[in-house]
Structure 1
Amino acid sequence: MTTDTLKRNNLLGALCAFSAMVCVSFNDMAFKFLSGGYALHQIVFLRATIGLVVFAVVVMPLNGGLRVIRTRRPWAHLLRGCFVVCANMALFLGLAAMPLAEAVAITFISPLLIAVMSVIFLNETVGPRRWAAIIVGFAGVLVIVQPGTAAFQAASLLPALAALLYSSMHMVTRRIRATESAPTMSFYTMLSFAVASAAFGLVFGDGRFAGGMHPSLEFLLRAWGPIARGDVAIIVTLGALSVLSSLLVSQTYRLSEAAFAAPFEYVAMPLAIMWGVTVFGTWPAPNAWAGIALILGSGLYMLWRESIRGTPTPPTQRR
């Protein structure tokens, strides 16, 4: 692979990461908005089902029909599906009990973990200045969540768990990118959501374990019910965006260095603040602003270092 190709792939991957985070940010806002009236597995099932329909009607015809779902790595897709389903479930349960900006801030451990894990598992190179930026970004997360305060309530551990699982999912993506296309990975991601949420709904969908408990547990165990007319458009949009965001995320880590693309996910932070203010009427606390500045500053510095270096470090992982 030539230097120009590596540079182009990294830039395309960064654009995919940015666009994916716009979709994911709406997804987070919508799940928090809907968490007071529906069961988590019901929303996930409807989103996945709509997404599979959109995939079959729009994506499959443009990518060779049924050939797009053929895979040489079924067990890798199963592992990746487990990671992404558990990561999303953990995050959505955290969102039910926490302010949106705080929950998203905790998940910013994920881009830092992706960069670190890319060194450990993929043999990619992260220079000392980028390591320093990663440390600063992690410090920003700590400033926002304030260890030892109310931010470290039990629910705050759920976005942290989501971050770890999300990072692990991206490591699997990097391992299978040579043989599996973005549409193929997107299909098996949505299929994983549909199967897992349907199974959970069969066991807990009658709501017999719900009633007067923690918001996260109530969201998890609430009974399935009819969808209000005003919420139909939100759920349909979630389904369509699930296809787009899954394709974009898969494409991000197929194209570019994990350590290069990860900082572009920081766009989710200002978007979370915007949704918090406009939809939920919540502003970040002063300490949160300081932490956000550290996180965004570290990400911008990493991007600046890439521009100074001229060409990103080629990935050296084994295929």
Structure 2
Amino acid sequence: MLASATSAENRAGILAMLVGMALFVVNDAMMKLASAHFPTGQMLLVRGVFATAAVLAIVFALGEARKLGRLAQPFVAARALIEAVISFLFITALARAPLADLTAILQATPIIVTLLLVVLGLERVGWRRWVAILVGFAGVLLIVRPGTVAFDVNAMLALAAAVLVAVRDLITRLIHADTPSIVVVLGTTVTVGVVGPLIGGALGESWQPVLRAETLLLVVAAVLYGCGNMAVVMAFRKADVSAVSPFRYASVVFALAIGFSVFGEFPDAIALAGFALVVGAGLYAWHRERIRRHAALGQTARGREESGS
């Protein structure tokens, strides 16, 4: 059992999560700006080269180079491959759809994770969490609005990415504990940088000259992407998961602010209502999960006391 974090460690974890979410959203904004000049596969390759160089330097600085062989572990490789597909889907949608809308759709991931656990028979869910799942689904429907002009292939790409993020998170739980997080991040940056352009090539993308000022956007995105991954890793490394997880939803606020200030995008009232439902349902599902775990820990403690008496 993991030891409970101190208040100071939880505060540091929350700060790291907020920083990580901000970095990821700014990274998305850089990629959206660059998408006016480059196709998705080419962007993922250029960003991947710089991100891999930065993460690899961190691997050596931390003395984890001897564990690079862990990249070949099935769950590490599977997670990286899924992340590559997620990146391609999301960046493709990001080139043509509002940043805040797509970011909000991704926040349905905790709800999708719960649903997958039920479908796979790994967890039983009570009626309260089922209500949260249905409310979160209703929120996504308000954002994508199937059957209206607001609904398009980009919304479907974001939904597909959200489902894959849920699968990725479940696979992450299966990675052996002795595999350093920075090695997992390295596997991700390498795979996204390789698989992304392969998918783009298969779809017939036409690449553009790289020696242009807009390439600097991808360099900045690479630094933000690598630092964002490190911040999230730091957030979960010592802090309690239950303490830092809710702050993932700060990305919606950041996306709204950047979408409005940089791209002049602002969701209408219906989409904003959808944002509120998705975030609210996710927070409530997290709250119920926290109660369930506390109850399970209490039962375990009582069982130990009774067996010791």
Pairwise same-fold verdict (TM > 0.5): yes
| Corresponding position of 1:24 | 24
Helix, strand or coil at the partner of 1:4: coil
Q: Does 1:48 align with 2:32?
A: no
| TM-score between both structures, scaled by the size of structure 1 | 0.78
1: CA distance between counterparts of 2:293 and 2:83? 34
Contact kept in structure 2, 1:81 and 1:192, CA below 8 Å = yes
Q: Does 1:86 align with 2:85?
A: yes
In 2, the alpha carbon distance for the partners of 1:80 and 1:235 equals 23
Shift of 1:292: 1.8
Q: Distance in 2 between matches of 1:254 and 1:137?
A: 28
How far does residue 146 in structure 1 lie from its aligned partner after superposition?
1.6
State the 1:183 CA deviation: 0.6
Q: 1:55-134 to 2 correspondence within 5 Å?
A: 55-57=55-57, 59-71=58-70, 74-118=73-117, 123=122, 128-134=127-133
2:179 is paired with a residue of what secondary structure? coil
2 CA distance for matches of 1:181 and 1:153?
A: 40
* CA distances 1:58-88 after superposition (whole Å, capped 9, x unpaired): x123321422422175222221121100011
Q: Give the structure 2 partner of residue 222 of structure 1.
A: 206
- The residue identity in structure 2 corresponding to 1:224 is Q
Q: 1:301 to 1:312 in 2, by over 3 A?
A: same
Scaled by the length of structure 2, the TM-score of the pair is: 0.80
> What is the aligned-residue RMSD (CA, Å)?
3.5
User: What CA distance in whole angstroms lies between the structure 2 residues aligned with 1:192 and 1:139?
Assistant: 34
Q: How many angstroms apart in 1 are the aligned matches of 2:15 and 2:30?
A: 23
The within-5 A match list for 1:307-318 is 311=294
Instruction: Give 1:25 shift.
Output: 1.0
Q: Is the 8 A contact 1:111 1:263 kept in 2?
A: no
Do the aligned partners of residues 72 and 153 (structure 1) sit closer, same or farther apart at CA in structure 2, a change above 3 Å counting? Answer: closer
Q: State whether residues 31 and 221 of structure 2, in contact with CA within 8 Å, keep that contact through their aligned partners in structure 1.
A: no
Aligned length: 297
What is the SS of the residue equivalent to 2:174? Answer: helix
Post-superposition Cα deviations, 1:199-237, rounded to whole Å, max 9, x if no partner, equal 457x46xx9x4xxxxxxxxxxx132313432x3442222
Aligned residue number for residue 248 of structure 2? 265
Structure 2 residue matching 1:282: 3-state secondary structure: coil
- Partner Cα distance (1:247, 1:228) in 2: 29
| Structure 1: tracts of 5 or more residues without a match | 210-220, 315-319
* Amino acid paired to 1:106: I
Q: Distance in 2 between matches of 1:11 and 1:305?
A: 22
Q: Distance in 2 between matches of 1:171 and 1:20?
A: 20
Q: Which stretch of the first structure deviates more once superposed, 29-38 or 1-10? A: 1-10
**Whole-angstrom distance in 1 between the partners of 2:91 and 2:271:** 21
Cα distance change, pair 72–238 in 1 and its aligned pair in 2 (3 A): closer
What's the CA shift for 1:92? Answer: 0.9
Matched AA of 1:226: V
Q: Cα–Cα, structure 1 residues 62 and 192, in superposed 2: closer, same or farther, change >3 Å? A: same
Residue 97 of structure 1 aligns to a residue in which SS? coil
Structure-2 residue corresponding to 1:147 = 146
Does the 8 A contact of 1:105 with 1:145 survive in 2?
no
2:31 aligned with 1:34:
no
1:251-276 alpha-carbon deviations (Å, 9 max, x no partner): 66777898886543222212221121
Aligned residue in 2 for 1:292: 275
Letter in 2 for 1:143: L
What secondary structure does 2:150 align onto?
helix
Residues 38 and 208, structure 2, Cα contact 8 Å, conserved in 1? yes
> Distance in 1 between the 2:185 and 2:121 partners?
22
Judge which range, 119-128 or 159-168, deviates more. 119-128
For 1:252 and 1:172, the matched residues in 2 are separated by 19
Give the SS at the match of 2:224. helix
1:166 is displaced (CA, Å) by 1.2
Question: Does the Cα contact within 8 Å between 2:71 and 2:184 map onto a contact in 1?
Answer: no
Question: 8 Å contact 2:139–2:278 — kept in the other structure?
Answer: yes
Unaligned runs of 5+ in 2: 298-309
Query: 1:245 maps to what in 2?
Result: 228
Match of residue 218 from structure 1: none
Q: Among the aligned pairs, what percent are the same residue?
A: 28
